[in-house]
Amino acid sequence: MKYIVSINTEFGTISAESKHPEDLRDSLDALRKLERSLSTSKRKVKSAPATSMPAKKKSARGSEKKARAKNEKVDNEEKALATRDGHGETTTILREIEERLLEAGFFDKPQTTGAVKSKLEYETKKKFTSRKVSQALGILRDRGSLTRAGKRNSYAYSRKYLEEKAGVQGAA
């Protein structure tokens, strides 16, 4: 699909086109500037198409370059954030729970997300969001490292039930 934005001027119509509608936002600004420069310069009608064509192509190419640069910037920002927050934070929490809390027997008794968060912050001297701690606990539950009991918004995670269940199955 092709998107086109056009402006009628006293000399004719100037337009820009793109496959992506978001690119046309910058093109529209460029077309408005071109329209102002054409109307103030009082050029002849014959020279308007020659003047507007390179500007249209330049602004469309410029918009595409700007869009690519913007996407690259967003990708780089997301990568930077991933090392501090988001997936990186969850990965850090998973590692800390596995290395510090699971091994130390912290989950021998059921623990809430808040208790896990507090213990992690105490042990690591880092701040974590409850949302990310909860996400990490859910991943450990999905992996079978922890079990979950309780109702939504008040879950308690433990290892005890899994070990008892494994012991019962092993004895049978």
Q: Measuring CA to CA, which residue among 147, 144, 141 is closest to residue 160?
A: 147
Per-residue pLDDT of 2-11, as tens digits, reads 778 777 877 6
Contact present, 97 and 116 (Cβ < 8 Å): yes
Segment 45-60, tens digit of pLDDT: 444 444 444 444 445 5
Residues with Cβ within 8 Å of residue 66, at least 6 apart in sequence: 23, 26
The CATH code of domain 86-171 reads: 1.10.10.10
Q: Is the pLDDT of residue 135 over 70?
A: yes
In this prediction, residue 84 carries a pLDDT of 43
Query: For the chain, how many residues are written?
Result: 172
How many Cβ atoms are within 10 Å of 89's Cβ, its own excluded?
22
Instruction: Please check whether residue 113 is in contact with residue 137, taking contact to mean a CB–CB distance below 8 angstroms.
Output: yes
Contact between residue 82 and residue 88 where contact means Cβ atoms under 8 Å apart: yes
pTM higher than 0.75 for the full model? no
**Residue 145: DSSP 8-state:** S
For residues 93 and 118, what is the distance between their CA atoms, to the nearest angstrom? 12
* Model confidence pLDDT, tens digit, residues 69-121: 666 655 554 444 444 444 588 899 999 999 999 989 999 999 999 999 999 99
| Percent of the chain scoring above 70 in pLDDT | 60
In the chain, where are the structural domains located? 3-83, 86-171
Report in angstroms the alpha-carbon separations of 101 from 106, 148, 159, 161: 5, 16, 11, 16
pLDDT at 130: 93
